[in-house]
Structure 1
Amino acid sequence: MSDRQALIGIVEAAYAAFAARRSQDLLPLCAAGCLWQAPGLPTLMPWAGEHHGHAGVLEFLGQLDEHLDFLAFEARSLVVDVEQGQVVALGVGRCRVKSTGRLYVNHWAHLFTLRDGLITAFREYPDTAAQLVAIHPALADLDPQQESLHD
C-alpha cells in the first residue's frame, strides 16, 4: 500500500466512523494529543473552537449530536499531499438544527494532518453563514438556503 493510499484509508475510516456515530472507531485513528478545530462562535455554535485530545474529539462530536441531526453527509473528493501528510476533503452535508427545526446545506472542506498513521489535526471549513441562519432564532426570517449552492 502506498503512502497516498494509507492516508486516504485513514480519512475514509474516520468518515465511516463519523457517519455511523461510532466514536469508539474514530478515536483509535486519532493521536492522543490531536487538535480538532471548528470555526464559529461557541456561544451560538457550541461545537466551535479548539478541542484537544481524545476528550476534545468526544466533546466536539457530543456537541454536534446534541444540536444537529445529520440527514446527509458526503465527502465528494479527497486531495492528498503525501509530503506534508495532509488530506483535504471536499463535501456536502444536510443538517437539521434540533432547537429550531431549520434545515441547511453545508458545503465544506476538511483538512486532516496525519503523522505515523494517526490524525494529529482536523480543521473544518464549513458554511458558517448557513449554520448561523439555521441556528439563531433572531434570524428566523432569513432562508439559510437562499444564497447557498445546491447539489
Structure 2
Amino acid sequence: MVQTDNIAIAQELLGRLGSGVGPAAIVELFAKDMTWDIPGDTSAFPWIGRHSGRQAVISFLAETTEKIERIRFDIDEILASDTRAVILGRLASRVRRTGKVIETAFAIILTISEGRITRFQMLEDSFAVSQAAYAGENCG
C-alpha cells in the first residue's frame, strides 16, 4: 500500500506544479527539513546544487519562472518503492537570457516519509544545462 501512496504523492506534486497554484500549495507536500538536490554546475542556475528546507522549493519555483521558459515536460513513468517515488520523463526548456534550449531526459527521485517529501533529487543532462546557461560565452 505504501508504494501506491508514494505514486499518489508524486502525481499530486506533478499536478500542483502544472496547475499554476501558488507555492504554499506545493510546499505543503514537503517536510520542513527536506533536502533539495540537483547535481550540476552550481554557477549556471541558483537552484542547482544541494539546498535544505521548504524555502529551496519556493526559490526554485520563483527562479525557474524568471529564468526558464518551459517548452515541454513529459512524464514517461512513475515507479515507487516503500520509501521512494521515481518520476521518469523528458523536458525541453528555453533559457531566457541566452535563448538556448535545453532538451534532456530526467529522473526525479522523491524520498518520502510519513506522507511528506523529505528529499527531492533531479538527475538530468547537467552538461546541456550548463551549455545553455552560458551559450555564446567562454564557459571553459
Following the alignment from structure 1 to structure 2, what is the Cα–Cα distance between the partners of residues 106 and 9? 25
Q: Give, as a single letter, the amino acid of the residue that structure 2 aligns with 1:89.
A: I
1:119 matches 2:117: yes
1:68 matches 2:76: no
| C-alpha deviation, 1:52, in angstroms | 1.3
Q: Mean Cα displacement is larger for which, 71-80 or 114-123?
A: 71-80
| Identity %, equivalent residues | 24
Number of corresponding residues:
137
Q: Give, as a single letter, the amino acid of the residue that structure 1 aligns with 2:15.
A: A
Following the alignment from structure 1 to structure 2, what is the Cα–Cα distance between the partners of residues 60 and 39? 14
Q: Which one scores higher on RCO, CA 8 angstroms, separation ≥ 6?
A: 2
1:97-144 alpha-carbon deviations (Å, 9 max, x no partner): 00011112121011100000000001010111211221113369xxxx
Q: How does 1:138-149 map to 2 (within 5 A)?
A: 138=136
1:43 matches 2:55: no
Following the alignment from structure 1 to structure 2, what is the Cα–Cα distance between the partners of residues 65 and 128? 19
Q: TM-score, normalised by structure 2?
A: 0.89
Q: Report the aligned-residue RMSD.
A: 1.6
SS in 2 for 1:44: coil
- 1:129 aligned to which of 127, 130, 133: 127
Q: Which runs of 5+ in 1 are unaligned?
A: 141-151
Q: TM-score, normalised by structure 1?
A: 0.83
Segments of 4+ moved more than 3 angstroms? none
Q: Which runs of 5+ in 2 are unaligned?
A: none
SS in 2 for 1:138: coil
1:6-31 alpha-carbon deviations (Å, 9 max, x no partner): 11111111111122343222111111
Following the alignment from structure 1 to structure 2, what is the Cα–Cα distance between the partners of residues 139 and 90? 31
Following the alignment from structure 1 to structure 2, what is the Cα–Cα distance between the partners of residues 70 and 51? 23
